Amino acid sequence: MTEKAKRPRGRPPKPKADTGPKRPVGRPKADIDIAQLESLSALNCTMPEIAAFFKVPLRTLEDRYTNDPKVRAAIDQGREVGKLSVRRKQMQIMNDHDNPTMAIWLGKQLLGQRDKHDVVTEDKSSQALSEAFNILNDMVKHRQS
């Protein structure tokens, strides 16, 4: 007996066409100058304001902050320098212009400073629990009689 030649199953493979050099996929990477980024952060600019300055979407800036250590370091360093300048200005305003209200407001807004208020509360949980037991006991006595 003679063997039959096996035919390939499925479609025949397509010939590969030479497409030339590959083009990059997606948008080109946004150009963010690290020195300018640090300066804007020192002015206490918000992320949307910084994104608008560099003409990039806010999401792009947030992704770069999350994934690029240089961008994160520049923003964090700028924010700390900005806080330092606010503290310096606070002291200058208090000393030179005798305007503590402005210094207090700046401290609350930018440095997280706050007035300390001692709040004293009375714990009445044990009293409320004993009252509940008394009510239940009265209900049980009332049912039995």
Q: Look at residue 15 in the predicted model and tell me its pLDDT.
A: 75
Q: Look at residue 125 in the predicted model and tell me its pLDDT.
A: 64
Q: Look at residue 28 in the predicted model and tell me its pLDDT.
A: 77
Distance CA 110, CA 100 (A): 15
| Digit-coded pLDDT (tens) for 56-83 | 999 999 999 999 999 999 999 999 999 8
Q: Look at residue 76 in the predicted model and tell me its pLDDT.
A: 95
**Residue 144 — φ and ψ, nearest 5°?**
-70, -25
Which residues of the chain have a pLDDT value below 70? Answer: 1-3, 18-19, 118, 120-126, 145
Q: Look at residue 59 in the predicted model and tell me its pLDDT.
A: 94
Assess contact for 56 and 30: CB atoms under 8 A.
Answer: yes
Q: Look at residue 2 in the predicted model and tell me its pLDDT.
A: 62
